[in-house]
Amino acid sequence: MVFPIRSKARRILSTMAAVRPSSTCSNYRRKSSASNLTNSAEVEQGTHVELLPSVKRQPVRRLEASSDSMELAHECSNCEGENVSKANNGPDLFGEMKERFLSFKKHKFLKESEHFQTLAQAQAPKFMVIACADSRVCPSNILGFQPGEAFMIRNVANLVPPFENEASETNAALEFAVNTLEVKNILVIGHSSCAGIETLMRMQDDGDSSLTHSWVINAKVAKLRTKAVAPHLSFDQQCRHCEKESINSSLLNLRTYPWIEDRAKKEMLSLHGGYYDFLRCTFEKWTLDMNGIRPVGGGRYLDKDRELWG
């Protein structure tokens, strides 16, 4: 922005110089340098008389100069506004986002254009992923999901409510993923330092009506189990225990959905749990054993194929 403004400023000064005859300006300077305070009024009067005919002869030029001045002032104002905006808001976040998008287009989309054209027609994801909305835990980033591989829902504390609960974004996504897309795997991913689980563990049974409390209460069974088996642990340790316990509670809640239970029993669908510890960068994965007892009032669970990655 600096160079265009300077260029325009020079053009305006040139135009204004053309409006004022050089002889008049030099005459004024000579008179001013030779005069003292007593005859300054005379000089100003003489100068005024000399300038007036020039102004009358070139009114268009004066108007052009005035218009340019207003335009320059407007551009300067915009420039200052942009600078103030950047100073107040810090980095240009959407500018950075734009660069990342263009990089994706260049290095991914255009190089795999045939794959993306196929995806534009239909999707056949291998996984239904239920993960936490936490900004630090992105399943695609952690597990390398590629476009078209995972149908994903993210909510507070990666919870699955029981089938009996009213409609939510989570059970609506489950219905679509299982009945329409016919995914083969559902993976519930929890993580360390989960604020949603910490909120659950701190909650008192005093009827708090906040939306967050109304949501995380879906994992109340996990909290009760944690309190029962780990009363001797510190609060932070209990939270870590509950983070994993809530994953299993969600897996059991998945079995309360008739269409999920039916497919799982027919071995057309597998239910998996995953736990990401972003302090140690490890990932624990396990599969719900469908031969375990069907959940009733919280129920019990058995798992298999447990692995620790990292």
- Cα–Cα distance measured from residue 215 to residue 230, given in angstroms and rounded to the nearest whole number: 24
Beta strand extents in the chain (DSSP E only): 127-132, 150-155, 185-191, 270-277, 282-288, 303-309
Which helix or strand (DSSP H or E) is residue 225 part of?
helix 220-229
Q: Look-up: residue for tokens 């049974």?
A: 205
Please choose, from the candidates 49, 45, 55, 53, the residue with its C-alpha nearest in 3D space to the C-alpha of residue 16.
Answer: 55
The closest of 218, 207, 244, 251 to 229, measured between CA atoms, is: 244
303 annotated to a ligand binding site: no
C-alpha–C-alpha distance, residues 239 and 190, integer Å: 12
Q: Is 194 annotated as a binding residue?
A: yes
Closest CA to 202 of 188, 218, 216: 216
Is 239 labelled a binding residue? no
Angstrom distances, CA of residue 277 to CA of 194, 222, 250, 280: 10, 19, 19, 6
- The count of other CB atoms within 10 Å of the CB of residue 114 is 8
Burial 55-73 (b: 16+ CB within 10 A, else e): eeebeeeeebbeebeeebe
| Residue 132, annotated as binding a ligand | yes
Annotated binding site for Zn(2+): 132, 134, 191, 194
Annotated binding site: 132, 134, 191, 194
